[in-house]
Amino acid sequence: MKRRIGGILFRHVLREVGIAFIGVALVLLALIVTNQLAFVLGRVAEGQVPGALVLELVRLSVTENASVILPISLLLGITVALGRLYHDSEMVAAQACGMGPSTVYAAAGVVTLATAALSAWLGFFAGPEGARRSFEIRSESLRTALVRGLAPGEFRSLGNGAVLYFREQDEGGRLRDVFFERRVARGAGTDGGQLEVVLADSARYALAPDGSLAAVVLQDGRRYEGLPGGGAWRRMQFREQTVPVRAPETSAPKPRPDMQPFGALRSSDDPRYQAELHWRIATVVITLVLGALAIPIARLRPRQGRYARVIWGVLLYAVYANLLISGRTLIEKGTVPAWLGLWWVHALVAILGLGIIKLPVLTDALRRLRARTSAAAA
C-alpha cells in the first residue's frame, strides 16, 4: 500500500514540477524571442541583414541563449510547484501517509537531470553550432550589403562617396536610365577631389568574390567631370565604361570563443578559451545545484503564502549568475587560474543556499531563546 501511494505521489509531483517548469521556460523564452526579434529587425532596417533571414537568425539566437533560461526555469518551476503542494496541504497529507522526502527528491530529480542533459547538449553542441551559423550569416550579409536591396527610383550609396540611381530594372537584372556620381582622387577641389557624374542608358553591376569591390558597367552614356562651382568641366561620351567602387569598411564580427568546439577549448591555453570552457561546464553544474537546492527552499511553513519562497530562489539565482559572470571575467584576465575555474562559485553558492534553507530553523531557535530569556527575566 505504501509503495502504491509512493508511486502516485511520485507521478503527481513529477507532473506538477514538469508543468511549472515548462510554463516558466515558455514565458522566459517568449521574452528572449521578442528581444531578439526586435534586435534583428533593427539590423534589417539598417540594411545589414536580409529580411528573409530574420526567422533563422532569431532561431539561432534562441539556441545560443536557451541554456541561460533553463536553470532559472527549473528553480522557479520546482519552487512554485512544491509551494502549491505545501500551501494546499498535499505534502502534509503525504507525510501523514508515511511518505518521506525521498519521493519528492526523486520526482524533482528526474526533471533536474533531464534539464541538465538539455543544458549540456545546448552548451556543448547546439549552442556553438548556432553561434557559428549566425556568424556566417552576418558575415555574408555584410559582404553583400553593398549591392543588396537596390531598388528603382532610389538613390543608393555604394560607399566612398559613390551614389547610384536608376529608373527601372528589367528581368535580366540590367538597370535602365542610370545616374551615377562619385568623387575621384584628382585635383584639389571640394572634399579633396573632382566630381564625376555619369548619365547612361543602361548599366549592370557585379560584386567581387570577397565583397570588397563592386564593378558598375555603364553603357551608352555621357560623363561629366570637374570641380563643383568651377567652369572647367569635361564632357565625354562612351559606349561602355567600367567603374570600380570599393566597398566601405565593415565591422564584420570576429570569431568568438563561444563558436569553438569542445576539443578546441580544452586543448587551448588562451584564457578566453579556458573561460568559455568553464562557462559551458557551469551551465550544467548550475542546473544541478539549483535543482537540488530548490526542493528544500520550496518548503513552506504553516500559513505561509504559496509564493513566499520564490523571492529566495530569485535572489539565489541572481547572486549565482553574477558570480559566474564575474568569475568568467577573472579567468579571461588571468586573475583566477584555469585549474580553479568556476568551481569556487558553485561551492560558495551551495553554502549560501544551505544558509537560506537553514534560516527559518535559526530564526525559530532565536525566537525561542528570546522567549525563554524574557520569561526568565520576568
Convert the pLDDT of each residue in 192-230 to its tens digit.
Answer: 568 888 898 888 776 665 555 567 788 898 888 888 777
**What is the number of alpha carbons within 13 Å of residue 296 lying toward its C-beta?**
14
**Beta strand segments in the chain, E:** 156-159, 162-169, 175-184, 194-207, 213-226, 234-246
- What is the distance of C-alpha 228 from the center of its chain? 49
Alpha-carbon distance values, 362 to 83, 256, 310, 359, 375 (Å):
21, 47, 20, 5, 20
pLDDT reading at 189 higher than 50: no
Full-prediction pTM beyond 0.95?
Answer: no
d(CA 39, CA 28) in angstroms, rounded, equals 17
d(CA 35, CA 55) in angstroms, rounded, equals 13
pLDDT at 150: 66
Residues of the chain above pLDDT 90, percent: 21
Q: What is the mean pLDDT of residues 150-163?
A: 74
Q: Give the strand pairing for 213-226 and 234-246.
A: antiparallel
Q: How confident is the model at residue 190 (pLDDT cuts 50, 70, 90)?
A: very low
Q: Which three cell numbers stand for residue 98?
A: 508515511
pLDDT digits (tens, 9 = 90+) for 79-125: 999 888 888 777 777 777 777 778 888 888 899 999 999 999 998 98
pLDDT digits (tens, 9 = 90+) for 229-278: 776 788 888 888 887 766 555 444 566 788 888 888 888 888 899 999 99
